Each structure stands twice: as C-alpha cells, then as structure tokens.
Amino acid sequence: DVQLLESGGGLVQPGGSLKLSCVASGFTFSNHAMTWVRQVPGKGLEYVSSISGFGSGTYYADSVKGRFTISRDNSKNTLYLQMDSLRVEDTAIFYCAKDIDTSGWYHHYHHGMDVWGQGTTVTVSS
Amino acid sequence: QSALTQPASVSGSPGQSITLSCTGTSSDVGNYLLVSWYQHHPGKVPKLVIYEVNKRPSGVSDRFSGSKSGNTASLTISGLQAEDEADYYCSSFGGSRIRVLFGGGTKLTVL
C-alpha cells in the first residue's frame, strides 16, 4: 500500500520550533516531489512548501519563507519540515502529500497530489 | 484572499450535473496544463479527483471530469450522489514564484 505517515506535531509557544516528519512507503520515494500543505480547521487548504525528488529544488510560500526549512532523506524515505520562529497563525493541521508525477527529480511542477498523510496538528499558543 | 477564485457554495439535486469553476490568471491556470482538483470531506484527508486539467487518478469515478478555458478551470460532476457532498479545492502550478496555488474551496451541497 502507498502510504504517508506524519509525526512531530504538538503544542509550542510563539517563537518556538518544531520538526515534522513524514515517512513514506509503497513507492519509489526519490521519484516524486513532495509537498507540505496546511489547513486551519474550518478554513481552506494552504500551500506551505515543496521539494523535488532529489532535494535539489526547494520552494516556500511567502508566509513561511525564512522561518521553515523543507528537506528529505531518500535513504530513509522521509520528508521533513523544520519550523522555527513559530507564530500563532501557524496553528493548523499539516499534511504531507506526494506528487503524482514520477519524474520530479530536479524540480517540482505540481502535477497533482495523489497521496496524502493523515495530518499532524501544530498548535502555537502561550 | 486565495490566489485562485472559487464560488463559496454550489448545490444540486441527486442525478443532476454540476460544474465548479476556478479562476486564475494568465500566469498560472492560463499558462500551464497543471490544474488539479481535490475532494475534501470534513475530518478526512483530501482526495485527488482530477490532475493535469482533465486526467482522473485510478479509482476515481468517471462522473468526475475536468476542463480548462483560458484562465478558468472547471470540474464537472455528473449523476450527482449524496456522497459527493464535500468541499472541493482547485489548485494550479504557479510558476517560479510560487509552486502551488489553491482556491478558497467550494462547498457542494447535495439537496
């Protein structure tokens, strides 16, 4: 089965840090660009960051640029999101998602996200 | 304010066909064949129903179809069923400045 399993969410104070992980199984991880998407409960989906299959291309939404860092370890089939300088408005459910394109080694061209993790909740509050 | 514009709500009766719209610009929707649509039931994980404008992933009903004209993409659901009631989000590749754009979502109600 193709599967993504996130972890690392939790409660953190404003200005704090968290690192999310997303373990993939059932597909050739390095062939696919990966994306982090978040959703504030009751609100819409919001793009956070994405990375090419080999990790050479990394991309960010303006709202997280300079605070979040995306990375991946293809030997461990794992995607990461290091979140620093967290703000109250970063509170959301964070999903990792796999791009359907099988040749996303060097760039992410967002063909469509066909597999999603179950989500991990990040709460930023004092 | 979302980068792509979707109507907040649409409704239809069982058996009908409905079309959801998604309007972008010539820099995103109008410039690439990279529009995707997601069905999201509250409390569940988003599900890809259309990718690359008009392709259906394996396992998605052929009642779902996608198209694009200029800067506007559309998702058509034919033979509406109660289980289709959900939020639908469109998304597009945004180019070098921002890789992924989402619409604000359309709440589909099956009457």
Question: In this predicted model, what pLDDT tens digit does every residue of A16-64 receive, in sequence order?
Answer: 999 999 999 999 999 999 999 999 988 999 999 999 999 999 999 999 9
Q: How many CA atoms lie within 13 A of B89 on its CB side?
A: 26
Q: Could A111 and B51 be called an inter-chain contact, meaning their C-beta atoms sit closer than 8 Å? A: yes
Give residues 9 to 48 of B whose Cβ lies within 8 Å of A: 34, 36, 38, 40, 45-48
Select the residue from B99, B102, B106, B107 to test the A interface by mutation, using most A Cβ atoms within 10 A: B99
Q: Rounded distance, CA A57 to CA A61, Å? A: 14
How many pairs of residues across A and B have Cβ atoms under 8 Å apart?
Answer: 75
Q: Could B46 and A59 be called an inter-chain contact, meaning their C-beta atoms sit closer than 8 Å? A: no
- H or E stretch including A64? none
Longest dimension (CA), chain A: 43
Question: In this predicted model, what pLDDT tens digit does every residue of A53-62 receive, in sequence order?
Answer: 999 999 999 9
Q: Flag whether residue B100 sits within 8 Å of chain A, measured between CB atoms.
A: yes
pLDDT at B2: 66
Choose among B48, B55, B103: nearest Cβ to A113. B48
Q: Which residues of A touch B45 (CB under 8 A)?
A: 95, 116-119
> What does each of the 111 residues of chain B score in pLDDT, given as a tens digit?
668 999 999 999 999 999 999 999 999 999 999 999 999 999 999 999 999 999 999 999 999 999 999 999 999 999 999 999 999 999 999 988 789 999 999 999 999
Q: Rounded distance, CA A39 to CA A119, Å? A: 9
Residue pair B74/B67 in contact (Cβ under 8 Å)? The answer is yes
Nearest one of B32, B31, B38 to B6, comparing CA atoms: B38
Question: In this predicted model, what pLDDT tens digit does every residue of A58-76 receive, in sequence order?
Answer: 999 999 999 999 999 999 9
Q: Which residues of A touch B89 (CB under 8 A)?
A: 44-45
Q: Could A45 and B45 be called an inter-chain contact, meaning their C-beta atoms sit closer than 8 Å? A: no
